[in-house]
Amino acid sequence: MSEISTRYNPAETEEKWYRHWESSGYFKSVPDDREPFTIVIPPPNVTGVLHMGHLLNNTIQDILIRKARMDGKNACWVPGTDHASIATEAKVVRWLREEFKLRKADISREEFMQYAYQWKDKYGGIILQQLRRLGASCDWDRTAFTMDPQYYQDCVRMFVDLYEKGKLYRGLRMVNWDPEALTVLSNEEVIYSEENAQLFHLHYRLEGGEEGVVIATQRPETIFADVAVAVNPKDERFAHLVGKKVLIPLINRAIPVIADDYVDIEFGTGALKITPAHDPNDYEIGQRHQLPVIDILTDNGYLNEACGFEPLIGKERFEARKAIKPLLEAAGVLVKIQDYQTKIGRSERTNCVVEPKLSLQWFVKMTDLGAPALRAVMEGEIKFFPANFQNLYRNWMDNLRDWCISRQLWWGQRIPAWYLKAEANNKETAIFVAQSAEEALEKAKKATGNPQLTLEDLRQDEDVLDTWASSWLWPISVFNGFAEPEGEINYYYPTNVLVTGWDIIFFWVARMIMAGYEYKGERPFQSVYFTGMVRDKNRRKMSKSLGNSPDSLALLDTYGADGVRFGLMSSAAAGGDLIFDAPFGADGTILNESALCELGRNFCNKMWNALRLVKGWKTIEKAESEEILRKNELAVRWMTEKFQQTLAQVEADFQSYRLSEALKSLHALIWDDFCSWYLEMIKPGFEQPIDRGTYTATLHLYGNLLRALHPFMPFITEELWHQLENRPAGEDICAQSYPAQIPADQALIQQVESIKEVITKIREIRNQNQIKPKDPLEVCIQSSSSARQLFELTGAREMMEKMAVLSSLEFVETEPSNAKSFISGTDQYYVILNKQIDVEAERAKLTEELTYQQGFAASVEKKLSNEKFVSGAPAQVVENERKKLADANARIAILEESLRKL
């Protein structure tokens, strides 16, 4: 035994087993006659690295897929990566600058794409290697990428299809504009945070008079784009001004005063300048009142000619804000400046303040797409875990706005729309949306009636698709469902469950549901398991930029994949955030440590040492005595039933995706029931052998535990599975079936629980009286029918004698002297002590217990004497109460008797 280390070494085993599993083809899936169980991975960014969120998310998927595999299903977990248009493009741009001293503007689109693919080939897919370290049992042959030629083609096909169905249009809309990256941003890419800002109070003079109105604005440089001043129609202060005109300071352009409910009477001065080109709300108000739009900013955020105020033309927006202040003061219109806090949106990538901008973009009409997607979730066709995410989902689906899917980037699927070169940029009237340039040309020839047109006369839209507008096709496209709708997608689709963070419920989950119904007429997945966010001790979301996230690979090194998986899962209820406990060092940097993962590592050690114990036993054919045999047989019976009891719980937990609960049940079963109780029950004396029957049964039980745990902790279970017994080739645990469920014998479990309770109470008395664990004790049992019944269970007496270390265990009619007593159930036990009992202390203890029992009995009696309870409550509940009362009364009788004798 000395040759086996007392510590489990994950580094040695994990790589070995992963390689073995992969080369054995266990993770591969091809359609067959088994029931499929499909998961598509939420594709991580192709150039991303494994972070804590990935660890959690992919551990959950792996647990589900391994369980399904062991359940005999055709388990298929499709891995892949997302091209992550804006994030990757930003990285490529930086790489070009740093490695090649190139700016994006210096090279052609084609050259840029070549570099981008180079970058992708070099750094892409690292994360997929890292997922292997975690144990992820993906079918790697199916690895997909959202920019694969086939996937690209599906996006084009989708675009053309939506356009032809009238569900896609090109239009001028308010969008989030990043003036530095020069692209539209999705809402998700805009990070809002509280910042200090200033509220300028400006006086707008009434046309032809001195009176006027004071408005409050945070952006005085945009006054040149004002087209109105709005007040609330209920605001009496300004009622007389509505319909009149006021003059914009500095340029004295006249604009109307209008009334609109949007204006908050309480905020600022109650009067709001309306600047449709530079504020989304103002734009909507402008639309309502048919006001013009004056755009005074260039794409990179400089004031343009349209502002009509010479001194500021060509100034950057924030420069202009500084510059305008003295000018306003000089003009006598600056009433005051007020500091205040407001939410400012910045670009996730460039940290540049996002500019609302009116821009010509492609939009998907959401109303038609949203209806079936909302219905599916509300009617439970797609189930959410936890269910209350339905509310969040509905809230968003009820307020759908058209989806801007064009991005001014190169890295992505280029929008398949062509325009006539003869028409000016962004002024196109003729749009040809087609699968290819050639098709577009045909359409153009027809539409224009000009057969002389050539490809040279056409210009393709410069923009690419929003990343989500490709990833919403993921569950369909990874099975080539567009090109081969009758192919294997018919087998794998709809997928079984999607596992993802709730933060992308709108961006991805909702849209996949829409795409599913649009293109397959069917839900893309049966269930969605929402994971929580992994947060640090201060409840901040772990992120690279905050530097509060441990290095996930370092964690895997320190605790092993199983240790990390356990640490994450043991406290990650579905939807609940996970407060990860990695502490910070003195210098404020995150330490790659975790008490949670330590628990997982300790658990591995525990199982490892259980193996060392069991494998160290010598066996003999027959137990040395009948007593040992009876004890061991009871232990095996009990452990078998206990296993079944927990297994039923685990299966139920899997049904409702309560994976943390399932893991905790298995942890308790293995650590407490199996190691602390069962192994101690059957453990032979020092250097003593164990009977073969018990030994074989123990190996079998141990194997069952390993199989039940395997989905959660795949590596150590595989290692122990093979250490436990010599297995023929191919008998790997990951290809075993999950243990079969058989109803557990609850009565037997209850009887052994009673025995364990007595053992624990004897140990407690040992502790209190400083008796060494190995000193044998004499214990007497007050004779009663219930006590005799308990010990009629074969092996019960022997089990108690061993576990409590007793020299004798006898029934008595009268209380022995010099004994400490305790009550278990309704029976009294006496532990004989070779010393004088402190009578007063004993009396006090008994009296306290008696008082409690009497109070308890009284409360139960009161309940039972309530006619409404007896007639109203279910019979089982009433019966339970009667039993409680009877037991309490029995205990009271024992206590009173004991007190009398003292």
Partner RNA sequence: GGGCGCAUAGCUCAGCUGGUUCAGAGCAUCUGCCUUACAAGCAGAGGGUCGGAGGUUCGAAUCCUUCUGCGCCCA
Binding site for RNA (CB under 7 A): 1, 6-7, 187, 280-281, 343, 388, 391-392, 395-396, 399, 571, 573, 576-577, 579, 595, 598-599, 601-602, 605-606, 609-610, 612-613, 616, 656, 658, 661, 664, 668, 671, 675-676, 679-680, 683, 685-686, 759-760, 763-764, 766-767, 770, 773-774, 856, 863, 866, 868-869, 872-874, 877, 880, 884
Our CB check for RNA shows the closer of 167 and 845 to be: 845
Tokens coding 342 = 């407001």
| Residue 686 Cβ vs RNA, minimum distance, rounded to whole Å | 3
- Please state, in angstroms and rounded to a whole number, the distance separating the CA atoms of residues 617 and 556: 33
- Please state, in angstroms and rounded to a whole number, the distance separating the CA atoms of residues 541 and 537: 10
Alpha carbon of residue 700 to chain centroid: 35
* 864 contacts 870 by C-beta, under 8 angstroms: yes
Our CB check for RNA shows the closer of 81 and 176 to be: 176
| Residue 765 Cβ vs RNA, minimum distance, rounded to whole Å | 9
| Residue 609 Cβ vs RNA, minimum distance, rounded to whole Å | 3
| Residue 526 Cβ vs RNA, minimum distance, rounded to whole Å | 19
Q: What angle do CA 125, 131, 132 make, to 5 degrees?
A: 105
Our CB check for RNA shows the closer of 76 and 803 to be: 803
Of 412, 423, 426, 429, nearest to 458 by C-alpha is 423
Q: How far is CA 102 from each of CA 90, 97, 170, 407, 686, rounded to the nearest angstrom?
A: 13, 5, 33, 22, 75
- Please state, in angstroms and rounded to a whole number, the distance separating the CA atoms of residues 127 and 137: 14
Our CB check for RNA shows the closer of 143 and 602 to be: 602
Residues 6+ apart with CB under 8 A from 386: 530, 574, 575
Our CB check for RNA shows the closer of 148 and 842 to be: 842
Residues in a beta bridge with 560: none
Our CB check for RNA shows the closer of 238 and 677 to be: 677
- Please state, in angstroms and rounded to a whole number, the distance separating the CA atoms of residues 637 and 708: 18
Euclidean distance between the first and the last CA atom of the chain, given in angstroms as a whole number:
53
Q: What angle do CA 827, 828, 833 make, to 5 degrees?
A: 155
Q: How far is CA 366 from each of CA 141, 473, 510, 838, 881, rounded to the nearest angstrom?
A: 35, 16, 11, 81, 58
* 515 contacts 523 by C-beta, under 8 angstroms: no
| Residue 785 Cβ vs RNA, minimum distance, rounded to whole Å | 21
- Please state, in angstroms and rounded to a whole number, the distance separating the CA atoms of residues 268 and 902: 83
Our CB check for RNA shows the closer of 124 and 276 to be: 276
The per-residue DSSP string of 621-639 comes to SS-SSHHHHHHHHHHHHHH
- Please state, in angstroms and rounded to a whole number, the distance separating the CA atoms of residues 518 and 534: 33
Our CB check for RNA shows the closer of 321 and 658 to be: 658
| Residue 423 Cβ vs RNA, minimum distance, rounded to whole Å | 33
| Residue 395 Cβ vs RNA, minimum distance, rounded to whole Å | 4
Relative to beta strand 777-782, strand 806-812 is: parallel
| Residue 34 Cβ vs RNA, minimum distance, rounded to whole Å | 29
Tokens coding 18 = 């992963």
| Residue 590 Cβ vs RNA, minimum distance, rounded to whole Å | 17
Our CB check for RNA shows the closer of 536 and 798 to be: 536
Alpha carbon of residue 136 to chain centroid: 16
> Is residue 745 exposed (0-12), middle (13-18) or buried (19+ Cβ within 10 Å)?
middle
Of 715, 752, 718, 387, nearest to 561 by C-alpha is 715
Our CB check for RNA shows the closer of 774 and 835 to be: 774
| Residue 99 Cβ vs RNA, minimum distance, rounded to whole Å | 36
Indicate the DSSP class of residue 677.
I
Our CB check for RNA shows the closer of 382 and 759 to be: 759
| Residue 725 Cβ vs RNA, minimum distance, rounded to whole Å | 18
| Residue 170 Cβ vs RNA, minimum distance, rounded to whole Å | 22
In which residue are the tokens 């356009």 written? 163
Our CB check for RNA shows the closer of 7 and 692 to be: 7
| Residue 661 Cβ vs RNA, minimum distance, rounded to whole Å | 5
* 488 contacts 55 by C-beta, under 8 angstroms: no
Our CB check for RNA shows the closer of 579 and 832 to be: 579
Tokens coding 747 = 């009565």
